[in-house]
A and B are shown apart, each in its own frame.
Chain A
Amino acid sequence: NAGVTQTPKFRVLKTGQSMTLLCAQDMNHEYMYWYRQDPGMGLRLIHYSVGEGTTAKGEVPDGYNVSRLKKQNFLLGLESAAPSQTSVYFCASSYLDRDTGELFFGEGSRLTVL
């Protein structure tokens, strides 16, 4: 089983460029999330979605946009990349159970903004 797949795995951007990270899950999960991981700061939630066609802001949403047009896909966009967005990005999904449902993570996408 593929689980949660992120593309691309690595990307280097120049300041001001735009890009989109794609997350796909094949587990029919309702909930999907985008996190960023920075040294010493753990995981911080950027945006999330509780179902197809819905999105919501997380802890650090500024500079990012998301879309969930299909249940299995969750896209994270950077319209004008900044060096502060250099990070490792993780997509995750979970069951509808909002109490005990565990998160399933992708392998991460390493983004460098020069």
Chain B
Amino acid sequence: GNSVTQMEGPVTLSEEAFLTINCTYTATGYPSLFWYVQYPGEGLQLLLKATKADDKGSNKGFEATYRKETTSFHLEKGSVQVSDSAVYFCALRNYGQNFVFGPGTRLSVLP
């Protein structure tokens, strides 16, 4: 079946540090890949997505590239801010199927 694996953290960084959150997946076919973010006390919201191999999704300084050869979709940001503190979820959706979420990675950014 489909599955998503991501580092669970927590990840603690200083402001302006470089961020990488690893995400790998197992799926048949060509799923769409997503990163969702959950700020404290809120629901999840879409951060970025990629729908085919080699696509790069980007938003708010975050980027992730769909790598089919390594079945990965790692999230990166060059310089994190305190306001980026949140839980980040990697997810996939295969055609005609429901979303599959990873366990989430909690990020804390210290000033």
Interface on B for A, CB 8 Å cutoff?
A: 8, 32, 34, 36, 41-46, 49, 51, 89, 93, 95-99, 101-104
Known: A103-B44, A105-B45. A42 touches B98 (CB 8 A): no
Residues of A within 8 A of B89 (CB): 42-43
> Which of A4, A41, A92, A99 is the most central at the interface, judged by chain B CB atoms within 10 Å of its CB?
A99
Contact among B34, B43, B102 with A105 in the assembled complex (CB-CB below 8 Å): B43
Complex interface bits, A27-67 against B, C-beta within 8 A gives 1, otherwise 0? 00000010000001111010010000000001000000000
**Contacting pair A43 B98 (CB below 8 A):** no
Cα distance A107–B97 when bound, in Å? 24
Interface residues on chain A, number (Cβ under 8 Å): 21
**Residues of B with C-beta under 8 A to A102:** 34, 46, 49
Known: A99-B32, A99-B51, A102-B49. Contact between A42 and B43, CB under 8 A? no
Q: Which of B45, B46, B95, B101 contacts A42 (CB 8 A)?
A: B101
**A92 CA to B98 CA in the complex, in Å?**
12
- Is A98 within 8 A of B43, CB to CB? no
Set of chain B residues within 8 Å of A100, measured between Cβ atoms:
32, 49, 51, 93
Contacts of A99 in B (CB 8 A): 32, 51, 93, 95-96
B36 to chain A, nearest CB (A): 8
- Shortest CB-to-CB span from B86 to chain A, Å, is 13
**A33 to B45 Cα, complex, angstroms:** 15
Given A40-B8, A99-B32, A102-B34, does the pair A45, B45 have CB atoms closer than 8 Å? no
